[in-house]
Every structure is written in C-alpha cells, then in structure tokens.
C-alpha cells in the first residue's frame, strides 16, 4: 500500500472568462452555491480525503480568495451562512497560497505548487467541480493508496448533464475485478459540450490522486510544448498521454451520485438548482 496523500492542490488561477456573464466582478471560486463559496466546497473535499494541507494556486487580482481564508471579517460579511463551516475547515486544514505567473493551464498551476508538495503523493481538486454527495476526492485517494497507481475520479454522464459539461475528460476504460477501471486512453479536449458515445459513459471530473512522479512528467511536458510555443496551455490530458506513452498505469474510480461543473453559466445554474433542491428536501 502507498502512503495516502497529505496535501491537496486547488488550481484557482484561471481567468474565468465564461463566468463573467454570471458575475463580472467576483472570481468564480467565490460564487455561492447553497450559500457557500465554491472554494469552500473544494477545501472540504480535501478535509474529507484526509489531507492536512491545501495549496491554493491563484494569480494576481484574485486576492479575495486569500481574504476568504485569512480575513474572518471578510468571510462573515460576504458569506455569513458559511462562516462557521469555514472556521471548522480551517481548524483541520493548513491552507497556503502560491501564485501562477501566467495563465498557462491547470498543470502549470500544479507545477507552481511543487515546492510545497515534496516527494509524496498529492491530491488535486478543481474547485469548479462539485461532487454530490461530497467525498469524491477521498475515493480517488483511497484508490491510489490501495493500488499504488495514479487514480482519477470518474463521473457518469447522462443526457440531462451532458449539455452543461465541456467536451473534456473523455476516457477509454477496461473494467478491473476490484470494481475500478484501467484507463487505457485519455482523449484530447474538444470544443463544445460533451456528447455521449453510449449510455452511462464515464468521464474524468477534476479530482484525482497523483504519485510524485507526476510533477516530473508535468515539467517534461512543459518543456516539450513550450519549446515550440510558450503560450500553450498545459492540461492534464497532455501530461497523462505522455505518462501513458511511457507505460504509467492509471486507475479510474467510479463515483456515486453526480459531479457538477460550476465553471460554465449553464453548469453553475444546474448547481444552484440541484443544491437548492437538496436543501428544500
């Protein structure tokens, strides 16, 4: 068995261009879902996964994310219904902030957290992916600990959820006898919404547990792409395809329930509907 991840990375340095239609001033990580900022949902995922530290990667201009964590008066004023939950999370999780110099993709953000991660397994949760029920990151971390392989959480896509999801995260899978899947291919991201190939298709959903060699593969992928064009976004798909080309295995962890994409206006609206519906019932 592998050591469980103790640190989680939360990439939150993106420009959030699509979400300006929802709120032109507030970072998407601070948009409320069920009265609580999206970033708090991600921090809670880290706590549920057993992490004791979180590294939030931001860029200049997103200091309000720091204020949420470091300024209790700001948290109480902006999110009065969530202030107590935030205090409880902060009692269990040491949160650090690092800066991504340029908006060059989520894996570049993870590379910015490298000095905080050391040579240990780590977890990653994209804050605009909200699992319902909570605990998806914990499932991925448990799979890494049990199998000793990089583990990605998988959500089921159906006809209702597909239009609100981006056309990313598509994978080819082979069932394993332990209830997990061997991931045999990570497909490149496509434009537009996700389109189903078959009923019950599974896709990755922005939560995973990584062995420390992932950082080396990110650095090598960056060197490969940025030597040709330093503006290329460094996505996890690019890194994973290099890893698979060199024989690195991945396990996929099917989740119960849904993972909602709060990173698009349509997805955010669906989050509000479903989370508020949960509160009413």
- The fraction of the chain above a pLDDT of 70, given in percent, is 98
Q: Which residues contact 71 (CB under 8 A, 6 or more apart)?
A: none
Q: pTM here?
A: 0.94
User: Which residue in the block uniquely carries the two structure tokens 């998988």?
Assistant: 154
User: Which residue in the block uniquely carries the two structure tokens 């409320």?
Assistant: 32
pLDDT, tens digit (0-9, with 9 covering 90-100), for 19-56: 888 888 899 999 999 889 999 999 999 999 999 999 99
3-state secondary structure of 31: coil
Q: Which two tokens stand for residue 243?
A: 């890893």
Query: What pLDDT, on a 0 to 100 scale, did the predictor assign at position 280?
Result: 39
CA–CA distance, 3 with 145 (Å, rounded to integer)? 6
Pairing status of strand 129-132 against strand 36-37: unpaired
Query: What pLDDT, on a 0 to 100 scale, did the predictor assign at position 281?
Result: 37
Under 8 Å between Cβ of 206 and 126: yes
CATH 3.90.550.10 describes domain 7-13+24-280: yes
Q: Output the average pLDDT for the chain.
A: 92
DSSP 26: S
Q: Where is pLDDT greater, at 260 or 10? A: 10
Query: What pLDDT, on a 0 to 100 scale, did the predictor assign at position 196?
Result: 94
Q: How far is CA 133 from the centre of its chain?
A: 15
pLDDT, tens digit (0-9, with 9 covering 90-100), for 125-172: 999 999 999 999 999 999 999 999 999 999 999 998 888 788 899 999
Under 8 Å between Cβ of 225 and 232: yes
State yes or no: pLDDT of 1 exceeds 70.
no
User: Which residue in the block uniquely carries the two structure tokens 């990375």?
Assistant: 9
């Amino acid at each position: 068995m592998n050591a469980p991840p103790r640190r989680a990375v939360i990439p939150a340095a993106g420009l959030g261009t699509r979400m300006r239609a929802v709120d032109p001033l507030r970072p998407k990580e601070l948009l409320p879902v069920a009265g609580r900022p999206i970033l708090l949902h991600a921090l809670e995922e880290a706590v549920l996964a057993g992490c004791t530290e979180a590294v939030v990667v931001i860029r200049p201009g997103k200091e309000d994310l720091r204020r949420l964590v470091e300024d209790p008066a700001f948290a109480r004023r902006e999110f009065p219904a969530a202030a107590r939950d935030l205090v409880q999370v902060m009692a269990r999780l040491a949160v650090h902030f690092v800066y991504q110099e340029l908006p060059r993709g989520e894996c570049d953000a993870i590379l910015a957290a490298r000095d905080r991660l050391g040579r240990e397994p780590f977890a990653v949760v994209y804050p605009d992916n909200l699992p319902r029920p909570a605990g998806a990151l914990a499932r991925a971390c448990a799979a890494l600990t049990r199998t000793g392989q990089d583990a990605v959480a998988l959500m089921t896509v159906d006809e209702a959820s597909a239009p609100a999801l981006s056309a990313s995260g598509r994978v080819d899978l082979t069932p394993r006898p332990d209830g997990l899947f061997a991931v045999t291919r990570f497909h490149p991201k496509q434009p537009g919404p996700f389109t189903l190939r078959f009923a019950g298709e599974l896709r990755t959903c922005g939560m995973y547990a990584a062995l420390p060699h992932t950082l080396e593969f990110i650095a090598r992928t960056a060197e490969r792409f940025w030597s040709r064009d330093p503006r290329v976004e460094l996505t996890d798909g690019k890194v994973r395809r290099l890893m698979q080309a060199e024989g690195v295995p991945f396990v996929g962890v099917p989740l119960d329930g849904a993972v909602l994409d709060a990173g698009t206006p349509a997805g955010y609206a669906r989050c509000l509907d479903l989370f508020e519906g949960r509160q009413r019932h």
